[in-house]
Structure 1
Amino acid sequence: MSAAVALRQDFTADDLRRLARAGRDAGQGRRLLALAEIYDGGSRTDAARIGAVSLQTVRDWVLAFNAEGPVGLIDGKAPGNRPKLNETQRQALARIVESGPDPDRHGVVRWRLKDLVGWIYASFGVSLDESTVGRTVKHLGFRKLSARPRHHEQDPAALVAFKKGLPFAVNAIRAGLPAGTAIEVWWQDEARVGQKNTLPRRWARRGSRPSAPKDQRTAHAYIFGAICPEKGKGAGLVMPRCDTSAMNEHLKEISRIVDPGAHAVLILDGAGWHIAHDLVVPDNITLLTLPACAPELNPVENVWQFLRDNWLGDRIFTSYDDILDRCCEAWKRFVAQPWLIMSIGLRQWAYRL
């Protein structure tokens, strides 16, 4: 039998018992108590009995403790099998997932795990099952998410140009106003709310698909909404239709909410009733049109999503009057929370003026 290895001398039995009481690793605590017995003059056999292990295991504990101290008695994570994909191959997988499939070349419009399994085998000759590929893709930082709709005729360069040019456009409007006039940047849009309602996501048990009533009647109304995120203000009306007459009424409402002596730059899309020849724009408002096919630039789109997800969606409206009441109630609850308007509406690129 090999000679007993002496314990390091910078600890005592009391030190080890105190560490065992304070520690959260049960295995480490058991080993510390076993080695404390040796510090008290006990035999290695006594230490093995306390630790419920063999003498050779006690020797291994002593060597680990001498080398690393109490940390050396914590179980390390097993290294596991060597990954079948090396780092270069994993990065190639990340690039192909990021870029998405080519429908003509790959035969699919979105990657499924079985498609990635085939791509990995064709590219590297490595055979993996779908569960392994799924774990690898998640480890690379990918999750299966819903794509945000984008109009097929949208010009990405126009979106970038609008964001970069917004401060100059606002400053040009400011230059035509009396000196010292405060500027408020507002956003405007409309949303249709009706008996053919939306069904928001809800919590449900994994593997199930919850059901909800869906009305097929067609009564509806429109919320005309505008927000000034920087001030936490909003102005809205519920109207029976989208036309120039309704827009004129909404402009009056926005004009009333603008701070006295201030001027509003109202950013909105190019709908016909926003640019009609008989549109009456109040003196304290200047209209600024968004690029075509770019609703994602308008934070009021996120307001509609919030209202539907929390207060308007998943309802059966009994009548047109019920639609009006619910829409008015939802808008009043929204504008009563300025911090919510700020949270949803503020865009860093829009308020660096």
Structure 2
Amino acid sequence: MRRAVAAAAADHPGRQIELWFQDEARVGQKGRTGHRWWARGERPRGLCDQRYDWTYLYAAVRPATREAFALVLPVVSTTAMGVFLAHFAAALAPNVHAVLVLDQAGWHGSRQLRVPANVTLVPLPPYAPELNPVERVWLYLRERFLSHRLLHGNADIVEACCQAWNALSPDRLRSLTNYPWIRRITS
């Protein structure tokens, strides 16, 4: 990771290098139930939806500064990832180059993916999702905001994604994502 950040700094002299982490989460009608306190020996009452409609929440977080960027998109694909990267790159300050750490999903490494000039993609090792701090954000959002709900269509799913993301405070985001090894890399 340090080598990737150092390489980006060498390739882009005079620019500020920022370390970001990115991932996607599927959110839909067939959600999970989550954990609830309930009387021992009894099952808690909960809502369960058997329909299959979903959308995807793309997010990038910068643990060191509590910054975050997210888009709700209908699919995961090379085209959707390109849209996310274009919007993400446009949101960066003019003198910033982002090192974006992500998993090795097929659409992240596709030859058709157009990566903006101010973004460098760095893949995580295979089979290591625990290294991506965004995974903890997904767990938190599903547990607190996206479980035990009936969502009646795609518009409701998009609205639920937006409400859940907007309810995520910068302090909570930092507590979920600021791993000790990330602090050592960014300091």
TM-score using structure 2 length: 0.94
Cα deviation digits, residues 142-175 of structure 1 (max 9, x gap): xxxxxxxxxxxxxxxxxxxxxxxx1122112211
Match of 1:185 in 2: 19
Check whether the contact 1:215–1:316 (CA below 8 A) recurs between aligned residues. yes
Match of 2:31 among 162, 180, 197: 197
Partner Cα separation in structure 1 for residue 115 and residue 172 of structure 2: 28
Of structures 1 and 2, the one with the larger relative CO (CA 8 A, separation 6+) is: 2
Match of 1:339 among 160, 168, 171: 171
Q: How many residues align?
A: 185
Partner Cα separation in structure 1 for residue 56 and residue 166 of structure 2: 15
Partner Cα separation in structure 2 for residue 171 and residue 297 of structure 1: 19
| Shift of residue 268, structure 1, vs aligned partner | 0.3
- Unaligned 5+ residue runs, structure 2? none
Match of 1:261 among 86, 90, 95: 95
Alignment of 1:244-323 (within 5 A): 244-323=78-157
Match of 1:238 in 2: 72
| Shift of residue 235, structure 1, vs aligned partner | 1.1
Partner Cα separation in structure 1 for residue 97 and residue 65 of structure 2: 13
| Shift of residue 198, structure 1, vs aligned partner | 0.8
Query: What is the one-letter code of the residue matched to 1:282?
Result: P
2:4 corresponds to 1:169: yes
Partner Cα separation in structure 1 for residue 162 and residue 106 of structure 2: 25
Check whether the contact 1:167–1:352 (CA below 8 A) recurs between aligned residues. no
Partner Cα separation in structure 1 for residue 170 and residue 90 of structure 2: 17
The structure with the greater share of residues assigned to helix is: 1
The structure with the greater share of residues assigned to strand is: 2
Check whether the contact 2:34–2:143 (CA below 8 A) recurs between aligned residues. yes
Partner Cα separation in structure 1 for residue 27 and residue 145 of structure 2: 12
Query: What is the one-letter code of the residue matched to 1:307?
Result: L
- CA distance 1:182–1:347, shift in 2 (3 Å): same
Q: Identity across aligned pairs (percent)?
A: 43
Check whether the contact 1:196–1:215 (CA below 8 A) recurs between aligned residues. yes
| Shift of residue 263, structure 1, vs aligned partner | 1.1
Cα RMSD for the two superposed structures: 1.3
Moved over 3 A (4+): none
- Unaligned 5+ residue runs, structure 1? 1-165
Cα deviation digits, residues 35-94 of structure 1 (max 9, x gap): xxxxxxxxxxxxxxxxxxxxxxxxxxxxxxxxxxxxxxxxxxxxxxxxxxxxxxxxxxxx
Match of 2:49 in 1: 215
Partner Cα separation in structure 1 for residue 170 and residue 62 of structure 2: 10
